[in-house]
Amino acid sequence: MSNCVGTIASVKKYYGQTLRSTCDLKSSLSSSVCEALRPPPHIKRAITMVHDDVASRYFGCGLAIPFDQLEGVKILDLGCGSGRDCYVMSQLVGEDGYVTGVDMTKEQLDIARKYVDHHREKFGFKKSNVKFVEGFVEDMKEIEDSSIDIAISNCVVNLCEDKESVYKEVYRVLKPGGEFYFSDIYADSDVTEAAKNNEVLWGEGMGGALNWRTFHKLTSSVGFECPRIMTSFPVQMKHPEECINIITGDVKYVSVLYRMFKLDSDVIKTPCNVTYKGTIKYNQDELKFDLHLTFHTDDITTIDGITAATLRTSRFFQHFKFSEPVANGPEPVGLENPFDVIN
């Protein structure tokens, strides 16, 4: 890789100086995504409460905002930028929760910090529940071990050269049963050297995109349970003449929203029947756990051992009734090609 593309300085310049608003982005998801990614009413309402100066500098590639059981939890936003998702999460966790945003780009953080008091007043909070830290997601010294309930990230890990360090850091700061809920761009094969060395493609996540198989290997080696796909959408160039096909070759790209959990190695992983109580706010009728698994209120669902362990050790525990173990449960979530389940 060249000395100017893919480096910290290059990414800082792209997001601190080159991009001034969402309109400056050269890449986009397919046209069907805007419909499919429409947030539920309470998320949409929270987004509209964010100041326009903050929202106009939103450069995400998905909707990395969990919809379930957020009151009072501690959130970490990796690569928070100007803070849009932080201010959305601030409303959802409430005054008893807390949101920390980490970013390396001073220009973005200046915008985020400028509106801390504005949002506190608009949300009706006595004190702010948001702070912004200038730093690197590969080495988050400011964040204590096992202190975070949920880490989120929106199209940021693919901007980092040392992705393994990012996953290790997230694993370190999460509590047992904690969750990484994040959107990123992935490739169906190894990205070409030409794409890696193209400033626009790297800056917008395609040049640094992992082969999805490599992603699975890395997160597994760190200790995470198998990632669960929430959504998967193709990525296109809005201005193809600026990045001709010869740069990317035959590589295809997809934006995937994943959730994956940190489980202790000694936790019991036994299949069982569970019943969702319908007690999570805004999820009274059903709880979508991943692309393939939705719990319906008061229905009995047979789940695999890893899912059972996840529910027992995470923030979802109190919202389920657990039965005795079953002999023959379904197979756990396994390696899944996101290109096979494009929405």
pLDDT in tens, 171-189: 999 999 999 999 999 999 9
Report how far residue 65's alpha carbon sits from residue 87's, in angstroms, rounded to the nearest whole number: 11
| Cα-based distances in Å from 258 to 64, 72, 293 | 9, 22, 13
Asked whether the CA dihedral 157, 60, 260, 134 is positive or negative, the reply is positive
pLDDT band at 22 (very low <50, low <70, confident <90, very high): very low
152 part of a folded domain? yes
Cβ-contact 67, 282 below 8 angstroms? yes
Among 262, 288, 310, the domain-final residue is: 262
- pLDDT at residue 240 in the model: 55
Would 333 be classed as within a structural domain? no
Kindly give the residue spans of alpha helices, DSSP state H, lying in 124-183. 163-173
Q: Is the pTM of this model over 0.85?
A: yes
Would 332 be classed as within a structural domain? no
Q: Tell me if 334 is assigned to some domain.
A: no
* Whether residue 36 has pLDDT greater than 50: no
Note whether residue 155 is domain-resident.
yes
Asked if 289 and 193 sit in the same domain, the reply is no
Within this chain, do residues 229 and 205 fall inside the same structural domain, yes or no? yes
Average pLDDT over residues 38-64: 88
Distant-in-sequence, close-in-space partners of 13: CB < 8 Å, separation ≥ 6: none
Q: What region does 221 belong to: left with phi over 0, alpha with psi -120 to 50, or beta?
A: alpha
Strands 300-303, 272-276: pairing is antiparallel
Residue 192 within a domain: yes
User: How confident is the prediction for the chain on average, in pLDDT?
Assistant: 87
Strands 74-78 and 148-154, bridge-based pairing: parallel
Residue 204 has pLDDT above 60, yes or no: yes
Report the alpha-carbon distance of residue 294 to residue 288 in Å, rounded.
4
- Structural domain span for residue 78: 3-262
- Alpha helices, DSSP H, located in the chain: 8-13, 33-36, 41-48, 52-55, 84-93, 106-114, 116-123, 163-173, 193-196, 199-203, 212-222, 245-248, 305-313
Last residue in a domain, options 220, 237, 262: 262
- Number of separate domains in the chain: 2
Q: What is the CATH number of the domain that holds 313?
A: 3.40.5.100
Q: Which two tokens stand for residue 138?
A: 């590969």
Residues 240, 276 within the same domain: no
For residue 162, the SS3 value is coil
Which of the listed residues 221, 243, 262 is the one where a domain comes to its end? 262
Cα dihedral 198, 203, 208, 209 in deg (nearest 10): -120
Span 123-166, pLDDT tens digits: 999 999 999 999 999 999 999 999 999 999 998 998 899 999 99
- Looking at the chain, the number of H-run helices and the number of E-run strands are 13, 14
Q: What percentage of the chain exceeds 70 in pLDDT?
A: 86
Residue 339 lies in a domain: no
Determine whether 301 is exposed, middle or buried from the number of CB atoms within 10 Å of its CB (0-12, 13-18, 19+). middle
Query: Residue 60 has what pLDDT?
Result: 72
Residue type, 220: S
**Is the domain of 161 the same as that of 285?**
no
Q: Flag whether pLDDT at 290 surpasses 50.
A: yes
- Asked if residue 82 and residue 137 are part of one domain, the reply reads yes
Residues 291 and 316 in one domain: yes
The answer to whether residues 57 and 200 belong to one domain is yes
How far, rounded to the nearest angstrom, does the alpha carbon of residue 162 sit from its chain's CA centroid?
17
Q: Are residues 295 and 235 in the same domain?
A: no
Same domain, 105 and 137: yes
User: Measured between alpha carbons, how far is 88 from 49 in angstroms, rounded to an integer?
Assistant: 8
Question: Does residue 24 carry a pLDDT above 60?
Answer: no
Same domain assignment for residues 197 and 140: yes
List of residues 6+ apart from 28 with CB closer than 8 A: 235, 236, 237, 238
Helix (H, G, I), strand (E, B) or coil at 44: helix
Question: Do 299 and 184 share a structural domain?
Answer: no
**Residues 47 and 70 occupy one common structural domain:** yes
Higher pLDDT, 96 or 26: 96
Distance CA 252, CA 144 (A): 38
330 part of a folded domain: no
CATH, residue 216: 3.40.50.150
